[in-house]
Amino acid sequence: MIDRGLLLWFPGPNSFTGEDTVEFHVHGGTAIVSAMYDSLASFPDTRVAEPGEFTKRAFYAGKMDLTEVEGLADLIHAETEAQRKQALRQANGQLACFYNSMRTRLVAAIANIEAYIDFSEDQDVDDDVLNGAVQKIEAIIDELKVHLNDNRRGERLRNGVRTAIVGAPNVGKSSLINLLSQRNVSIVTSIAGTTRDILESHYDIAGYPVILADTAGLRADTDDVVECEGIARARTYVECADLLLLVVDASRIGPIDKVDAFIEEYIQALGIEKQLMSRTLIVLNKCDLLDKVTLERLKNNSTLSCLSCESEAGLAELMERLKVRLEQLCGNPSVESPTISQERHRSHLKQCLTCLERFRDYFKETSGSDRDLAIVTHHLRNAVRCIGKITGTVETEEILDVIFSTFCIGK
């Protein structure tokens, strides 16, 4: 006897893989699992499954397409509520339906164009059929452009929102990341330049995945070689960050009527480009050092978040603003408008769009007998293949190996 457990029998073709399947439900202790493996290995032709093998069998059995497979992998690895929702939609086939609908319309357009090529001389198919097919293709081009112009929201939600905490030395950047994480991630001292390298930590903020990065204090007057390298790395990180939390020492802002001018000079002194301010939240730290009148007037400025890392005053308001910004960055995918969650999808969709635009441009630049539709239609067939590579209709073994390698053994 190994353990007291449960055995479940799933007859095909209604099982997950489409095959006859048996599941052993036993306790998860190391000794029990090891004894189960040893016992099962005594049966002939029995081996341990490869990573993702059961899902691969389900894919080959037609139980799911590649977008659903990737959605299932994302669902397994989801760490936040927003990630779970996006992954579940994809695993349930919403993205597959979107791409399959597009593919079906393209195939229908190709069929109409080929019918026109074959039968137009017999007057069985008139020019309206050709023009209707071209209009469908133009509609798909517009739809693809909208789908691709998503500011990478789905990928950002899947991978995490890269958020850099930046500012001058000793303004409270490390204190802020410690406050947001509720643990001592960064060392806090009164010595300027304590943080040298990029310190990244992963968090769930309002259901969204956030990668918080504490960076070196930005300043020009330092001869410390190590600190200079830290500042250079901080500037590089800022350029590629999705969101910036710009920390300002509220005790140094001066007259209340000159706050905006002070912030502008502060940004220039740090060397932060103006175009980056569109993805920046300004956090006034050390507000506990201000008098009540000044603090109330600052709170009325909608561009600023007043905070005290010491007393945690203003933290709730900052978190609410952060939540709103995260919602904007990650979007709200729906059944009607699913988002692109994989760079692989985006690459194939761009290739598809290029093929369709080549066909459209050729059709506009030529007319009548000058058109060789039989040859140019290959652009449309290539577009269909590009969509097929996303869903798995066109199989590429290399793509399959990469996708299924992300699964754990037993799934």
Q: Spell out the residues 6+ positions from residue 195 whose beta carbon is closer than 8 angstroms to its own.
A: 173, 174, 186, 187, 214, 215, 216, 217, 230
CA 340, CA 42: separation in Å to the nearest integer? 46
- Angle, in degrees to the nearest 10, between helices 378-391 and 66-77: 30
The region that residue 88 occupies, defined by phi over 0 for left and psi between -120 and 50 for alpha, beta otherwise, is: alpha
Instruction: Kindly state which CATH superfamily the domain 155-330 is placed in.
Output: P-loop containing nucleotide triphosphate hydrolases (3.40.50.300)
Q: Which of 381, 333, 337 is nearest to 356 (CA)?
A: 381
Return the amino acid letter for 270: L
DSSP at 217: P
Coil/strand/helix, residue 92: coil
* Element spanning 240, H or E: helix 225-240
Are β-strands 161-167 and 208-214 bridged in parallel, bridged antiparallel, or unpaired?
parallel
pLDDT of the chain, 411 residues: tens digit per residue: 999 999 999 999 999 999 999 999 999 999 999 999 999 999 999 998 988 899 999 999 999 999 999 999 999 999 999 999 999 999 999 999 999 999 999 988 888 888 777 665 655 556 777 888 889 999 999 999 999 998 899 999 999 999 999 998 888 888 888 888 876 665 555 555 555 568 888 889 989 999 998 888 787 677 677 778 888 888 888 889 999 999 999 988 878 778 888 899 999 888 888 888 999 999 999 998 888 888 888 888 888 999 999 898 999 999 999 999 999 999 876 655 788 999 999 999 999 999 999 999 988 888 766 778 888 889 999 999 999 999 988 655 655 665 566 656 566
DSSP at 192: T
What is the CB-side half-sphere exposure of residue 359 using CA atoms within 13 A? 30
CA 158, CA 149: separation in Å to the nearest integer? 17
Phi then psi for residue 243, to 5 deg, are -145, 140
Region 92-150+340-406: CATH code: 1.20.120.430
Q: What tokens does 391 get?
A: 């869903």
Global pTM value: 0.80
CA 42, CA 27: separation in Å to the nearest integer? 21
Strand partners, 338: none
CA 228, CA 231: separation in Å to the nearest integer? 5
Domain ranges for the chain, please list them: 1-48, 92-150+340-406, 155-330
DSSP at 167: E
